[in-house]
Amino acid sequence: MATDTTTRIGQTTLKNPIIAGPAEHLIEAAGIRNAIRSGVGAVAIKSANEVDAAKDQLERSEYTLFDEHWRPIPWNPQAPRAATLACRSGMSPLPFEPWLDQAVRMDREARDHDCLLIPSLILGEIGPAVEMARQVEQAGLRVLEFNVGVPYGSQTKKGNVATELSPDRLGGFVAAMRAAVSIPVWVKTTGQSERVPQLAGSAFDNGADAVIMAGRLLGFVPDVETLAPVFGTSLGIGGFWNLPITCQWLAMTRKAIGPDKPLIGINGAQTGLDVARMMLAGASAVEIASPVMVYGFELLQRAVAEFSEYLDRKGLAARDLIGVAGDQHKTFMQVDRRPGNWRNYVPADALGT
C-alpha cells in the first residue's frame, strides 16, 4: 500500500504537508512554477498589500548568511545547514491587480499538479485588506493566508505592515476578514511575543480556519570590524536553530486551545524530518520559505521525498504524527528526579573533592 502523505487543514486536504512558504523566490511566475513542480502540497506566493511604501521596502532589501562566529559567508547551495540567515526584506513589488492575475494563472497550473496555490495578504489597513480578500475569493482562489505577524512592523512606518501583538486587536482583524470572505482564512502570527497561544486562540475564536506560527524574530548584529550594525538596522533572523522554538509554540498552543485546531509550523524546517518534527509537536502542515532562497527548489523536492520515506519506514500516515510528541509534554516538576545528575555536566574543577 502506498504511503499516505495527505493531511487536512480544516476542510482543505493537501497531498502532503509541505508548503512552499512565501519569500522572494515566489515573486515571479518562474519561481512559483518551480515550487509547484517540486511536489509540495501547497505554494504560498509572496505577500501583497495596498501600501506603496511597503512595496518599496523590497528595493531596500539586503541578505546575508552568518557562520557560527557571526561572520558573513557566501550565499550559495554549499552554505552549511547550520548557517543563520539575516535580511531586511519587503513584499511583492507587483501592484495588486497584476499580482492577483498572476495568482490566478499560477492556480491553474497548481491544480494540474494537485497543489494548492495560496495568495498571501499582509495587513496594512484592514479596510483595503478586506477588499483585496474579496477580490481574491471572486477570482476563484481557494485559500487565503492573512499575515498579521511580519517581523518588521516596528521597523517601518506605521500602517505599512503589521506585527500584531494584541490578541484582542488580532481577533478584530480576523473577524473582519471572516465576515468578508467564505474561503478558508489561514492567519499567520508573530513569534515576537510570549502570548503566541493567546494570539492563536483569538484568531480561531474569530473565525480563522488555521493559524501559521510563528513569524520570524528580529535581531541586531554589530559588526566588530566596522563598529556599525550589519546592514544598518534590525534584521529578520532565521535558521535551523529556530526549529525547537517553533515546536515549543506548536506544542504549547495545542495544549492551550485543544487538538482540533489546525496549526501550520514555520521557521526552522529545512528537511523532511524537520517537517515530521514540527508535526509531532502539533502542526498539521509545515511551511519552508527562506532556505529555498539559498539551496534552491531541490530542497523542496528532497524534503518531500525524505518525508515520504520516513512515513514508509515508520509504517505511519502523515496524519498519525500530528501532536504525538506535543501531547506527551511534561512540566519540569512532572519529570523524574535525577539527584546529582547536574554534576556530570560541569567542569571537574567546578566540584569539590
Reported as a single tens digit per residue, the pLDDT across 317-351 is 999 999 999 999 999 999 999 999 999 999 999 99
Per-residue pLDDT of 149-197, as tens digits, reads 877 666 666 656 677 789 999 999 999 999 999 999 999 998 888 899 9
What percentage of residues in the chain have a pLDDT greater than 70?
95
Give the number of other Cβ atoms within 10 Å of residue 98's Cβ.
12
8 Å CB contact between 131 and 93: no
CATH number of 7-350: 3.20.20.70
Q: Is the pLDDT of residue 310 over 80?
A: yes
Strand pairing partners for 211? 187, 263
- Closest alpha carbon to 145 in 128, 160, 123: 123
Instruction: Work out the end-to-end distance of the chain between its first and last CA atoms, rounded to an integer number of angstroms.
Output: 62
Across 266-287, average pLDDT: 98
pLDDT in tens, 13-27: 999 999 999 999 999
Residue 2: the pLDDT is 76
pTM of the model: 0.95
